[in-house]
Amino acid sequence: MHLRGRTAIVTGATRGIGRAIALRLAQEGANIAFNYLNNEQIADGLKREIESLGVSASSFKVDVRDFEQVQKMKASVLDQFETFDILINNAGITKDSALAMMNQDDWLDVIDTNLNGTFNMTKAAIITFMKQKRGDIINIASVSGVMGMARQCNYASSKGGMIAFTKSLAKEVASFNVRVNAIAPGFIETEMVGNLKEDYRNKMKALIPLGRFGKPEEVAETVNFLLLEKARYITGQVIQIDGGLGI
Catalytic residues: 155
Burial class of residue 201, CB neighbours in 10 A (0-12, 13-18, 19+): middle
Instruction: Please enumerate in sequence order all residues whose Cβ is within 8 A of that of 170, keeping only pairs 6 or more positions apart, or say none.
Output: 179, 180, 181, 235, 236
Instruction: Please enumerate in sequence order all residues whose Cβ is within 8 A of that of 163, keeping only pairs 6 or more positions apart, or say none.
Output: 139, 141, 145, 146, 182, 184, 238
Q: In what order do the strands lie in the sheet with 135-140?
A: 57-61, 31-36, 7-10, 86-89, 135-140, 178-185, 238-241
E strand or H helix at 8, and its extent?
strand 7-10
Give φ, ψ of 96 to 5 degrees.
Answer: -75, 140
**236: which DSSP letter?**
S
Instruction: Please enumerate in sequence order all residues whose Cβ is within 8 A of that of 232, keeping only pairs 6 or more positions apart, or say none.
Output: 179
Q: 3-state SS of the chain: helix, strand, coil percent to 5?
A: 50, 15, 35
